[in-house]
Amino acid sequence: MAYEDVYRRSIEQPEAFWGDEAKAIHWHVPPRQVLEYSQPPFRRWFVGGQTNLCYNAVDRHVAERGDQLALVAVSTETDVTREISYRELYREVNAFAAVLKRLDVGRGDRVVIYMPNMAEAVFAMLACARIGAVHSVVFGGFAAHNLALRIDDAQPKLLIAADAGSRGGKVIPYKPLVDEACAKANTPPAKVLIVSRGLDAAEPKIAGRDEDYATLRAAVGDAEVPVEWLESNEPSYLLYTSGTTGKPKGVQRDVGGYAVALALSMRTVFDVGPGQVMFSTSDVGWAVGHSYNVYGPLIVGATSVLYEGLPITPDAGIWWALCEQYGVRTMFSSPTAVRVLKKHDIDFIKRHDLSELKYLFLAGEPLDEPTAHWITDAIGKPVIDNYWQTETGWPALTLLPGLDMKPVRFGSPGFPNLGYRMKVIDESTGEEVGPCKKGVLVMQPPLPPGCMTTIWNDDARFLSSYFSHFKELLYSSLDWAIRDEDGYTFILGRTDDVINVAGHRLGTREIEESVSGFPAVAEAAVIGVADELKGQVPVVFATLRQATDEPHERVQAADGMRRTVEQSLGAVARPARVYIVNALPKTRSGKLLRRSLQALAQGADPGDLSTLDDPNALEEVRRALQRGPEVGS
């Protein structure tokens, strides 16, 4: 069917459309009402319906595909690969649920999961879903202070932690971070369950609080735990995202709407069905990890590949080796990861048989054209940019190869996904702008199934954060966008990442795109810094594809970047200074810490660096600032 026809039905007849889509999942009790929208922008999908995420992801597949692989957990950090069938997954999830019951966890209780990409993290999430507990996965290795903030907000009855994680072969003990977080928290959990991989032999136990998973797992044996049937709109999980106030926002997801949205997206967006294989390189602690490492593939009876390790260890071909070995159909990664691979020989990709691979999806940040071209040429498959947020839970802008594949247009994530009523509006007037005019990307409520229902215990903050920016009741993405004449949307960056140069408003993302177009550049971050004459000026921090310590080569590259920007965006956008560094500071999920860069450039406190992936990158920036720019003054 044509995208346009299906999309039109999804927004003009949402109840009929989503009523049909709801048939893709199992309902213990069918919904009595598809949509309840009496208190905008709050909405409830599939009212009265009773279902369960774990049942849809595990139980219903055991009879038909019990011996099929459900989960392949690969760790190049521990050199362990676990291939787990649906029948084995059923057994492990039931056992984990029995352990949770022994620790007095039940329906509505919160459970914080603090683990890396290991099989037990998936077991824990599904076990919580099985018994109706609300899980909150926190990225493993997150700083104790930030973990404590999430503990106090969620007030969990239980915290589940690995003994340690590992990155690049370096062991990161989790238990000391857990102990510190519990000491700092006002409402620490009564119990801490440790899942040990033997990475931290010195891991101490606190009597009366700490429990060992292996011991309890042995005690429960092959116990089976009944599914807790939940009303569609009960909370399934919390996932914390950064807030402007410094207090993290607990994005709350429902049960039924989320399951239906994921089932739809697996078919129409990712084109993956029963028995096929999906490989998402995300961490389970992020939104992509929840939706497309765990729940999405399992809900449709597919196989999910879960990877722990660096994309370049043991070499830069590891991901493609896994694609070849397991016959991956759809892969999902990030532009940052591709830019890392771009620094390595393309033969690491070319040497592998990727005949089963149909699509590579990239999300998490805007995809620059040079990177898109490079990876498309390298794999010879469609590379599909898609745009969404932790808040939406599934793609909001994308192409839909499983429904009607439109041509890829580099730089654009495509068109509004099914059910998303989207506009690009003028920030001042609130009026929709015309083609190729810049505006704020907004969504008209009611938001489709799968999107956040509220902020945990804070409806007022939900309203003020997302629905208070315009006179009309609209969800603001807080992203700038344009739509071309054919309806393709292009994301230009955050509305708070705008710099004003001599009265000209410039998105730092636009300048980054231009800088990245210079062939020598591997990656770039652009910030605005104060300038006495112009108000603000753009400053570039860039890494090169071929690192060099030769001053004249660095100056030559920096000059090339400035010329490229001037040619594409005009003299007003010409960077005032260009710093060439060997690494850029990023979070563990791969996002550039632009605000920290800006603070350092202006001699201010870089702020909370708990999510920093590599501390050396920050020192690299400090040294560059002390040394001075390659060009500019």
Contact 596, 570 (CB under 8 A): no
pLDDT in tens, 197-239: 999 988 789 999 999 999 999 999 999 999 999 999 999 999 9
Mean pLDDT, rounded, of the chain: 93
pLDDT in tens, 419-436: 999 999 999 899 999 999
Q: What percent of the chain has pLDDT over 90?
A: 78
Contact 43, 22 (CB under 8 A): no
**Which of 98, 172, 96, 101 minimizes the C-alpha distance to 139?**
172
Distance CA 361, CA 291 (A): 14
Confidence grade of residue 246 (pLDDT, cut at 50, 70, 90):
low
Q: What is the pLDDT of residue 577?
A: 95
430 token code pair: 């609130």
Provide DSSP, 412-456.
Answer: --BEEPTT--EEEE-TTT-PBP-TT--EEEEEPSSPPTTS--EET
pLDDT in tens, 493-506: 777 677 878 666 67
Percentages (nearest 5) of helix, strand, coil residues in the chain: 35, 25, 40
Largest Cα–Cα distance of the chain, in whole Å? 72
Q: What is the pLDDT of residue 505?
A: 64
Contact 328, 322 (CB under 8 A): yes
Distance CA 275, CA 329 (A): 10
- Scan for tokens 């309840």, then name that residue: 36
Contact 18, 42 (CB under 8 A): no
Domains annotated for the chain, with CATH where assigned, are: 3-309+386-478 (3.40.50.12780), 497-627 (3.30.300.30)
pLDDT of 608 over the 70 cut? no
Q: What is the pLDDT of residue 611?
A: 66
Which of 240-254, 503-517, 562-576 is predicted most confidently? 562-576
Give the dihedral sign, CA 241/529/605/611. Answer: positive
pLDDT in tens, 26-70: 999 999 999 999 999 999 999 999 999 999 999 999 999 999 999
Beta strand spans in 557-612 (E): 577-580
Q: What is the pLDDT of residue 119?
A: 98
Q: What is the pLDDT of residue 392?
A: 97
Q: Which residues have a Cβ under 8 Å from the Cβ of 583 and sit 6 or more positions away?
A: 543, 614, 616, 617, 620
Distance CA 291, CA 288 (A): 5
Confidence grade of residue 469 (pLDDT, cut at 50, 70, 90):
very high
Rg (CA), the chain: 24
Q: What is the mean pLDDT of residues 397-418?
A: 97
Q: What is the pLDDT of residue 507?
A: 77
Q: What is the pLDDT of residue 571?
A: 82
Confidence grade of residue 591 (pLDDT, cut at 50, 70, 90):
confident
Q: Are strands 110-114 and 134-137 parallel, antiparallel or unpaired?
A: parallel
Q: What is the mean pLDDT of residues 438-459?
A: 98
Confidence grade of residue 376 (pLDDT, cut at 50, 70, 90):
very high
CA angle 263, 266, 270 (to 5 degrees): 165
pLDDT of 244 over the 60 cut? no
pLDDT of 368 over the 90 cut? no
Confidence grade of residue 102 (pLDDT, cut at 50, 70, 90):
very high
pLDDT of 464 over the 90 cut? yes
Q: pTM of the prediction? A: 0.86
pLDDT in tens, 471-484: 999 999 989 999 99
Q: What is the dihedral of CA 313, 316, 319, 324, to 10 degrees?
A: -120
pLDDT in tens, 148-204: 999 999 999 999 999 999 989 999 999 999 999 999 999 999 999 999 999 998 878
Q: What is the mean pLDDT of residues 531-557?
A: 89
Distance CA 115, CA 257 (A): 26
Continuous segment of H or E residues that includes residue 27 = none
Confidence grade of residue 302 (pLDDT, cut at 50, 70, 90):
very high
Contact 397, 442 (CB under 8 A): no
pLDDT in tens, 525-539: 999 888 877 778 999
Q: What is the pLDDT of residue 610?
A: 65
